[in-house]
Structure 1
Amino acid sequence: MSGHLDYEINKELGECYLFMGELDKAEEYYKKAVSSNGIHPDPYIGLATVAVQRGELDDAIAMYEKAHKIEPTDKSLSGIALIRMENGDKENAYSLFVEAIKMNPENMVALFSLIRLGHEMDRVADIMPYLRDYLEVDPAKHEVRYSLAGCLAVLEQKDAAREQLDKILEMDPDFEAAKEMLDAL
């Protein structure tokens, strides 16, 4: 069997087992994928995910960093950032999430982590452009628009917040959280 096909099959099997929560099997196939052909970031991202699920954060960050050296992606950046955030290094996590978003504005892990950090670090105004960029791509993503409304409310821009909430309720009249925020404003 050719090396590349071998690699693809092992990577796919790793992903299947990971999805099913069988971490040992997933790890076994990701390791086979790592050794089967050339150098790809994906199996290392897989191994990092396995390590995260096991709570082995040091191993996870090592795997994310390997993936990142091979080819920096928004996934490896988000992975490293999540672990930094877990370890309390908010500054570093914040800048890595921003880098991830710049590579892929639709990375939801990075976006929602930035929302959380923005509120925790009093940088709400700084994260709003990323939310607006995302909404240009996917205007119907109500959770993101709701977060934007929340940011506007925090910054005392109540009319702008109301406008965003009205937009959500036009599209989805049953979005309870938006109704509640609107009442609170």
Structure 2
Amino acid sequence: MSGHLDYEINKELGECYLFMGDLEKAEEYYLKAAGANGSHPAPYLGLATVAVHRNNLDEAYGHYRKAANLEAGDKALAGMGLIEMEKGETETAFDHFSQALEFNPENMVALYSLIRLGHGTGRVAEVMPYLEGYLAIDPLKHDIRYTLAGCLVVEGREAEAKAQLERILEHDPTHACATELKVHLERAA
């Protein structure tokens, strides 16, 4: 078998065993895939997932870093961010989530984690462009638009928040949270 075929087969077997919950077999095949072709990030992402399931965050972080060094991508960067967030390294985590979203504005793990960090660290204004980036791709994702409206309220931009809520209600007049926040903003005005 060629090296590429070995890589593909072992990577696929690793994914199958991971899906079935057999961490030892998954790790075995991901290591074989990495050995057959060490220039692809996928086996290292798989090994990171195995390490996370075993609650070995330092090992997982090393695998995410290796994957990111081979080919910077949203999954590795988001994985690194999650572990950094878990360790309380909020600045580095914020940066990694932001970078992940620059690669893929639809990475929901990175987006929701960035929202959480933004609220927790007072950096809501820095999160809003990523919400807008997502909405440029999927303008009918009401939970993201609602979150953007909430961020606008936090930033004291109530008129813009109300406009976002009205866009939600145009498409979903029964959206309870949007209705409630809109009523609250109208009463406060």
| Superposition TM-score, scaled by structure 2 size | 0.90
Q: Which consecutive aligned stretches of 4+ in structure 1 deviate over 4 angstroms post-superposition?
A: none
Shift of 1:163: 1.5
Letter in structure 2 aligned against 1:168: I
Paired with 2:133 and 2:167, the residues of 1 have a C-alpha distance of 16
Q: Say if 1:176 and 1:32 are closer, same or farther in 2 by CA, change over 3 A.
A: farther
Higher deviation after alignment, 40-49 or 17-26: 17-26
Following the alignment from structure 1 to structure 2, what is the Cα–Cα distance between the partners of residues 54 and 120? 28
Identity percentage of aligned residues: 60
SS of corresponding position for 2:88: coil
Change (3 A) 1:133 1:44: same
| Alpha-carbon separation, structure 2, partners of 1:166 and 1:151 | 15
Question: Aligned AA for 2:65?
Answer: E
TM-score (normalizing by structure 1): 0.92
- Alpha-carbon RMSD across the aligned residues, in angstroms, is 1.6
Q: CA separation in 2, counterparts of 1:138 and 1:104?
A: 13
How do 1:89-100 residues align onto structure 2 when only pairs under 5 Å count? 89-100=89-100
Q: Matches of 1:64 and 1:46 in 2, distance apart?
A: 9
Counterpart in the other structure of 2:7: 7
Structure 2 counterpart of 1:63:
63
- CA distance, structure 2, for counterparts of residue 13 and residue 60 of structure 1: 20
Distance 1:175 1:52, change over 3 A: farther
Provide the secondary structure at the position in 2 that maps to 1:129.
Answer: helix
C-alpha distance after superposition, 1:27-70 (max 9, x if no partner):
12211211223421110011001111221100000111111221
Q: Aligned equivalents of 1:155 and 1:87: distance in 2? A: 28
Alignment-derived partner of residue 79 in structure 2: 79
